[in-house]
């Protein structure tokens, strides 16, 4: 963290206190404290005094940093330092495997140091709590606005996951009032030729929201290839062009070695070759629009591209408007004005009450409208705050001036967050602005940093909730408060990716960096003649202060900065870094120097305090010779790094909770890896693993893999039935399982397969997501691709009775006369069937059984009948339906009342289908995709005629796009004509 004399902010003081409080809570559960009453007393004393200080922050808003807050921060830095070093000593001694004679002495010395440091901390906290400042501030602020919203609103999301998802989805705001000017955007999406259009207006008018809507709808107007780039002030031309190329073509690793000229040439060639492309350039600034954006459009003229620019500047908007034909048919720059009174009322109605019929407003709500001045962002943030605030907050806000500046509302939204959300929210500032953050990734990063502990335990430190569950509720809470945007959704309706509201990012990041809580390197040679990073404010501090800064969270947005002697991050103290995230995806300095950089973190102690190492997307980072020093590491993210092997030292990472090697070339894990005691999430890349090793490791010690929740991407071979049944009580904590059985060719799954199915059905009752299938090969292989393998018969599963939390199910394999009421739980929200070879139409039965199903995928050979009927009142919650590769299917019947809320329909390679009756009964249907080799135009015409409304259709070549999902892999070899249909409302 920052040194004591860095600039401070009361909000960040509160965040640091919360972080230390959670570390003390974790320490309270450590065996050292459990077994030593004196140690336990010291920790409890410190927590009690911290709670008093937290209450002070909660009840009052300190106006500024003071000498008292400086002493508080020094005490917090001291506490965090000695707690982490205690864990480091423990991990270091464990790794060194000291002789039994020496270990007790080392443990005794470590315990004494911890007791001594806790005693010092308690003394410091006593002085702080008795200080006159604390009492004086409390008295002086007793009539002021309370400093933080109460956390009572968090109870809203603490129920069962099913209830949370349903409630949150139902609360999502309508887009009518936010997506103004949709008609102008649709006109551009439909158009032919090269077009540039700008969306401009002052901050907070909804420019990015409108552009995001256009981006989501583009493929239904024939613009399947899309690229979105947030044009940050620090972005250079190489980053800009590479990001565009990566999204437009999704190139292999060779593009990472290209020069700027080569990238530019390939980008323009790619755009010219594609039929239509949409490029969105978000938040273009005066500082770089001529150097980055100007050269882009000059080279794209003559293509079929549509370029949408969002900006606050009129001169940029006028400049970025061009059409190569029919000038009068397309809009000039789209200016978003403030909302008028009626529009403002509708938006506030929806945000506060989830209605849009203009009910009677209270005097307080009328005051809110007056404060917001018609800015959609202000209405969104204030309503998000008030929806989660108590009566005193409503009354206090009503006493404010008649109109608040946007910057005041932004600061209010940050300061009013509950204390348990603030560290998690600030952590999001490590990600590049405008980059969608996968919620999976974010929750596990929070977990590794210890930011989720506050709601996991009761007052007696007994765990009542899983931290992953807490993390998901935190995301829902932040989204409900409107401080983050959910930019994409999973098939089950839960948030898939989110990002901090851009305007809040601009508020949070500079303060967090100036306090030393986090540091972001994003070098720009375009902005500063001295080659300094204009966004890295810590580098602009005085030299004597920079040397003392102790960075806690560090992110790399470009390559590692080096000094004249080749040292990484000159003048920054890296020995205290807890999180390191890299988003640099070009081959270069980071790839070659990652080991040297990590060594600098351990140069003084030979060991590192690092808990998070997230290198997702970095090309083949080198971890040899350094991984064994990261003894406290909890999160190792290597997804999409194309690594060929994993250092054997990974088995020594005792605290490791998450290992992600998906989309790498790694096909082997050390056998001793399966003895991991703290591993919670393991993502593999579909390679063969001997299940016997896992089961034997568990049989030797029941604590091994005892906390594992995610086991994804593995293929297991034959295993003795007796061995399987002897260990069926293992791994029962799993919530996500993605597993394929690889057996010899045959008509039955075999005894081992039945044993695995029995294990899943009877023991893994905590599952929320299950992918299960049988593939048959002549001989085992090290790495398989399930979609291209011979599919075998599935063993009998019975999930309906015990799997009440199962939301997502993917079954790959033949189902022999399935009894659906035994196989499928009613809780399912996503169901995918592939290779099932069911001959009797199951739609009438499933439509009544799966009342909560949102997404249904019927993939290759899942149904072998000629007619499929969706019965009346069936699938009442279904939003997305995909039917692929069913060669026997000839007719689809949709009865009145079936699939009333269907929005998306995808039909692939249904060459025998002649009629789809009742398609007009799906009144909410908006988008249809049809792909086929044998005259799909006939089916398209039939659909357009049956819908009975105006339908726009666009023809494309069927080719894999950068956004293709894993579940589309079994369609990889089938190419044809693709049509997108957009139903106009």
List, in sequence order, the alpha helices (H) in 850-977: 936-947
Output the CA torsion sign for 157, 163, 166, 171: negative
> Residue 769 pLDDT more than 50?
yes
What crossing angle do the helices spanning 67-96 and 132-140 adopt, rounded to 10°?
Answer: 120
Q: Give me the residue label for tokens 């500046």.
A: 405
Range name among 119-128, 277-286, 376-385, 535-544 with the lowest pLDDT average? 535-544
CB contact at 8 A, 895 and 919: no
The tens digit of pLDDT for each residue in 122-135 reads: 999 998 888 766 66
DSSP for 228-263, written as a single string? EEE--TT--HHHHHHHHHHHHH---GGGGG--HHHH
**Which tops the pLDDT comparison, 118 or 69?**
118
CB contact at 8 A, 875 and 897: no
Q: What is the pLDDT of residue 536?
A: 43
Q: What is the pLDDT of residue 99?
A: 41
- Cα→Cα distances 342→171, 345, 381, 403, Å: 21, 5, 19, 18
> Residue 143 pLDDT more than 70?
no
> Residue 492 pLDDT more than 80?
yes
3-state secondary structure 569-599: CCCCECCCCCEEEECCCCCCHHHHHHHHHHH
Which two three-digit tokens encode residue 271?
A: 């755009």
Q: What is the pLDDT of residue 846?
A: 97
**Which tops the pLDDT comparison, 429 or 619?**
429
The tens digit of pLDDT for each residue in 600-621 reads: 676 666 788 999 999 998 888 8
> Residue 382 pLDDT more than 80?
yes
Of 24, 116, 1, which is closest to residue 70 (Cα–Cα)?
Answer: 1
The helix or strand, by DSSP H or E, that contains position 740, with its residue range, turns out to be strand 736-743
CB contact at 8 A, 582 and 432: no
Q: In degrees rounded to 5, what are phi and psi of residue 755?
A: -65, -40
Mean pLDDT of 441-460: 88
The tens digit of pLDDT for each residue in 384-426 reads: 888 777 666 666 676 665 667 888 899 888 888 988 999 999 9
Q: Give me the residue label for tokens 């920790």.
A: 43
Which of helix, strand or coil describes residue 915?
strand
In whole angstroms, give the CA distance from residue 55 to residue 411: 20
* % of residues, the chain, pLDDT over 70: 76
Q: What is the pLDDT of residue 150?
A: 41
* Geometric angle at alpha carbon 265, from 259 and 266, rounded to 5°: 90
Q: What is the pLDDT of residue 782?
A: 43
Strands (E), 258-417: 277-284, 306-311, 322-323, 334-335
Range name among 195-204, 295-304, 422-431, 625-634 with the lowest pLDDT average? 295-304
> Residue 589 pLDDT more than 70?
no
Mean pLDDT of 959-984: 64
In whole angstroms, give the CA distance from residue 164 to residue 173: 16
β-pair partners for 311: 200, 284
Distance of CA 140 to the CA centre of its chain: 42
Q: What is the pLDDT of residue 98?
A: 43
Mean pLDDT of 287-314: 85
DSSP for 413-444, written as a single string? HHHTS-TTTHHHHHHGGGSPTTPPEEHHHHHH
> Residue 464 pLDDT more than 90?
no
Per the prediction, the chain carries an average pLDDT of: 81
> Residue 788 pLDDT more than 60?
no
Q: What is the pLDDT of residue 154?
A: 45
The helix or strand, by DSSP H or E, that contains position 407, with its residue range, turns out to be helix 406-415
| Exposure of 357 in the CB half-sphere (CA atoms within 13 A) | 2
CB contact at 8 A, 783 and 688: yes
Report DSSP state, residue 710.
Answer: E
DSSP for 807-828, written as a single string? -EEEEESB-SS--HHHHS-TT-
| Exposure of 473 in the CB half-sphere (CA atoms within 13 A) | 26
**Which tops the pLDDT comparison, 170 or 557?**
557
Range name among 267-276, 662-671, 811-820 with the lowest pLDDT average? 267-276
Residue 705 backbone zone (phi > 0: left; psi -120 to 50: alpha; other: beta): left
* Geometric angle at alpha carbon 752, from 747 and 757, rounded to 5°: 90
In whole angstroms, give the CA distance from residue 329 to residue 301: 18
The helix or strand, by DSSP H or E, that contains position 122, with its residue range, turns out to be helix 103-130
Q: Give me the residue label for tokens 């909302």.
A: 339
pTM higher than 0.75, yes or no? yes
Residue 738 backbone zone (phi > 0: left; psi -120 to 50: alpha; other: beta): beta
In whole angstroms, give the CA distance from residue 792 to residue 267: 43
Mean pLDDT of 173-191: 73
Which two three-digit tokens encode residue 861?
A: 């050979």
Buried residues in 328-366 as b, exposed as e (16+ CB within 10 A): eebbebbbbebbeeebbbbbbbbbbeeeeeeeebeeebe
| Exposure of 876 in the CB half-sphere (CA atoms within 13 A) | 7
Which of helix, strand or coil describes residue 47?
helix
| Exposure of 917 in the CB half-sphere (CA atoms within 13 A) | 11
Mean pLDDT of 634-645: 93
Range name among 503-507, 692-696, 830-834 with the lowest pLDDT average? 692-696
**Which tops the pLDDT comparison, 909 or 571?**
909
Which two three-digit tokens encode residue 285?
A: 């600034």
Q: How far apart are the first and last CA of the chain?
A: 54
Taking residue 83's Cβ as centre, other Cβ atoms within 10 Å add up to 21
CB contact at 8 A, 614 and 585: no
Which of helix, strand or coil describes residue 857?
strand
Which two three-digit tokens encode residue 922?
A: 């799906």
Report DSSP state, residue 291.
Answer: I
Residues 6+ apart with CB under 8 A from 436: 487, 488, 497, 498, 499
Q: What is the pLDDT of residue 540?
A: 45
CB contact at 8 A, 202 and 407: no
Taking residue 426's Cβ as centre, other Cβ atoms within 10 Å add up to 23
Most confident of 245-249, 624-628, 667-671, 801-805: 801-805
Q: Give me the residue label for tokens 């997501």.
A: 769
> Residue 538 pLDDT more than 80?
no
- Cα→Cα distances 20→14, 47, 449, Å: 10, 9, 11
Q: Are strands 495-500 and 437-438 parallel, antiparallel or unpaired?
A: antiparallel
In whole angstroms, give the CA distance from residue 299 to residue 301: 6
Q: What is the pLDDT of residue 373?
A: 87
**Which tops the pLDDT comparison, 854 or 298?**
854
In whole angstroms, give the CA distance from residue 268 to residue 290: 18
Q: What is the pLDDT of residue 355?
A: 66
Q: In degrees rounded to 5, what are phi and psi of residue 83?
A: -65, -45
CB contact at 8 A, 430 and 553: yes
Residue 861 backbone zone (phi > 0: left; psi -120 to 50: alpha; other: beta): left
The tens digit of pLDDT for each residue in 76-116 reads: 989 999 999 999 988 887 766 544 445 567 778 888 999 99
> Residue 450 pLDDT more than 90?
yes
Range name among 6-20, 549-563, 592-606 with the lowest pLDDT average? 592-606
Q: Cα-atom radius of gyration of the chain, to the nearest Å?
A: 29
β-pair partners for 199: 310, 334
Q: What is the pLDDT of residue 345?
A: 84
Buried residues in 804-821 as b, exposed as e (16+ CB within 10 A): ebbbbbbbbbbbeebeee
Which two three-digit tokens encode residue 542?
A: 């005085």
Range name among 407-416, 515-524, 839-848 with the lowest pLDDT average? 515-524
């Amino acid at each position: 963290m920052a040194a004591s004399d860095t600039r401070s902010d009361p909000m960040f003081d509160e965040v640091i206190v919360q972080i230390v409080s959670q570390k003390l809570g974790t320490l309270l559960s450590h065996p050292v404290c459990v077994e030593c009453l004196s140690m336990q007393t010291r920790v409890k004393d410190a927590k009690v005094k911290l709670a008093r200080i937290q209450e002070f922050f909660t009840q009052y808003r300190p106006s500024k940093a003071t000498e008292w807050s400086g002493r508080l921060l020094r005490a917090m830095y001291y506490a965090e330092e000695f707690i982490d070093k205690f864990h480091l000593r423990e991990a270091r001694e464990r790794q060194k495997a000291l002789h039994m004679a020496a270990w007790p002495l080392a443990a005794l010395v470590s315990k004494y140091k911890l007791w001594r440091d806790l005693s010092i901390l308690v003394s410091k906290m006593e002085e702080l709590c008795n200080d006159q400042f604390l009492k004086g501030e409390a008295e002086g602020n007793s009539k002021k606005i309370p400093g933080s919203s109460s956390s009572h609103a968090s109870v809203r999301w603490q129920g069962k996951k099913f209830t949370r998802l349903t409630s949150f989805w139902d609360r999502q705001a309508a887009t009518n009032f936010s997506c103004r000017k949709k008609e102008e955007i649709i006109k551009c999406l439909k158009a032919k030729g090269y077009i540039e259009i700008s969306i401009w207006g002052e901050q907070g008018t909804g420019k990015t929201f409108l552009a995001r809507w256009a981006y989501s709808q583009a493929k239904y107007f024939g613009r399947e290839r899309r690229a979105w780039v947030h044009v940050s002030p620090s972005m250079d031309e190489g980053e800009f062009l590479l990001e565009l190329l990566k999204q437009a073509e999704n190139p292999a690793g060779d593009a990472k070695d290209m020069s700027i000229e080569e990238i530019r040439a390939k980008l323009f060639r790619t755009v010219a070759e594609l039929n239509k492309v949409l490029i969105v350039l978000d938040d273009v600034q005066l500082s770089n629009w001529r150097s980055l954006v100007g050269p882009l459009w000059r080279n794209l003229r003559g293509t079929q591209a549509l370029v949408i620019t969002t900006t606050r500047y009129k001169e940029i908007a006028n400049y970025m408007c061009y059409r190569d034909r029919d000038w009068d048919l397309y809009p000039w720059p789209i200016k978003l004005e403030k909302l008028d009174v009626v529009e403002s009322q509708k938006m506030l109605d929806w945000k506060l009450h989830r209605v849009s019929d203009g009910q009677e407003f209270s005097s307080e709500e009328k005051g809110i409208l007056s404060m917001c001045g018609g800015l959609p962002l202000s209405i969104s943030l204030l309503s998000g705050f008030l929806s989660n605030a108590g009566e005193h907050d409503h009354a206090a806000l009503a006493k404010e001036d008649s109109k608040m500046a946007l910057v005041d509302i932004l600061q209010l939204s940050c300061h009013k967050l509950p204390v348990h959300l603030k560290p998690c929210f600030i952590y999001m500032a490590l990600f590049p602005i405008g980059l969608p953050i996968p919620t999976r990734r974010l929750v596990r990063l929070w977990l590794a940093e210890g930011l989720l502990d506050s709601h996991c335990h009761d007052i007696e430190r007994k765990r009542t909730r899983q931290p992953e569950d807490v993390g998901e509720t935190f995301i829902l809470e932040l989204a409900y408060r409107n401080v983050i945007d959910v930019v994409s959704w999973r098939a089950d309706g839960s948030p898939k990716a989110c990002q901090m509201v851009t305007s809040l990012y601009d508020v949070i990041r500079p303060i967090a960096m100036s306090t030393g809580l986090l540091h972001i390197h994003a070098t720009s040679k375009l902005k500063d003649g001295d080659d300094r990073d204009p966004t890295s404010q810590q580098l602009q501090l005085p030299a004597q202060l920079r040397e003392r800064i102790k960075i806690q969270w560090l992110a790399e947005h470009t390559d590692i900065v080096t000094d004249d002697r080749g040292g990484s991050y000159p003048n920054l103290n890296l020995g205290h870094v807890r999180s390191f995230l890299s988003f640099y995806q070009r081959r270069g300095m980071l790839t070659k120097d990652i080991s040297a950089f990590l060594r600098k973190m351990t140069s003084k102690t030979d060991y590192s305090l690092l808990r998070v190492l997230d290198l997702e997307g970095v090309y083949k980072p080198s971890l040899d010779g350094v991984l064994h020093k990261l003894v406290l590491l909890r999160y190792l993210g290597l997804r999409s790094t194309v690594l060929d092997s994993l250092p054997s030292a990974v088995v020594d990472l005792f605290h490791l909770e998450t290992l992600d090697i998906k989309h790498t070339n790694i096909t082997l894990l050390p056998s001793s890896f399966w003895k991991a005691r703290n591993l919670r999430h393991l993502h593999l890349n579909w390679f063969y693993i001997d299940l016997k090793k896992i089961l034997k490791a568990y049989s030797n010690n029941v604590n091994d893999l005892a906390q594992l929740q995610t086991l994804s991407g593995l293929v297991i071979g034959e295993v003795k039935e007796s061995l399987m049944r002897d260990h069926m009580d293992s791994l029962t904590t799993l919530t996500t399982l993605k597993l394929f059985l690889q057996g010899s060719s045959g008509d039955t799954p075999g005894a081992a397969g039945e044993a695995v199915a029995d294990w899943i059905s009877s023991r893994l009752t905590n599952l929320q997501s299950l992918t299960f299938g049988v593939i048959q090969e002549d001989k085992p292989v090290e790495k398989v691709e399930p979609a291209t393998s011979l599919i075998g018969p599935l063993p009998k599963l019975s999930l309906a009775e015990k799997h009440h939390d199962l939301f997502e199910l993917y079954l790959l394999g033949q189902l022999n006369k399935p009894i659906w009421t035994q196989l499928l739980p009613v809780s399912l929200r996503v169901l995918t069937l592939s290779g099932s070879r069911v001959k009797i139409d199951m739609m009438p039965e499933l439509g009544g059984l799966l009342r909560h199903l949102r997404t249904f995928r019927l993939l290759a050979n899942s149904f072998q009948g000629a007619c499929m009927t969706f019965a009346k009142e069936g699938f009442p919650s279904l939003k997305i339906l995909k039917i692929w590769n069913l060669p026997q299917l000839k007719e689809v019947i949709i009865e009145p009342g079936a699939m009333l809320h269907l929005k998306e329909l995808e039909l692939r390679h249904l060459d025998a289908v002649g009629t789809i009756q009742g398609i007009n009964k799906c009144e909410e249907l908006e988008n249809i995709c049809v792909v086929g080799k044998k005259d799909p135009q006939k089916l398209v015409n039939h659909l357009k005629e049956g819908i009975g409304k105006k339908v726009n259709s666009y023809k494309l070549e069927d080719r894999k796009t950068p956004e293709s999902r894993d579940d589309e892999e079994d369609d990889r070899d089938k190419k044809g004509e693709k049509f997108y249909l957009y139903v106009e409302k």
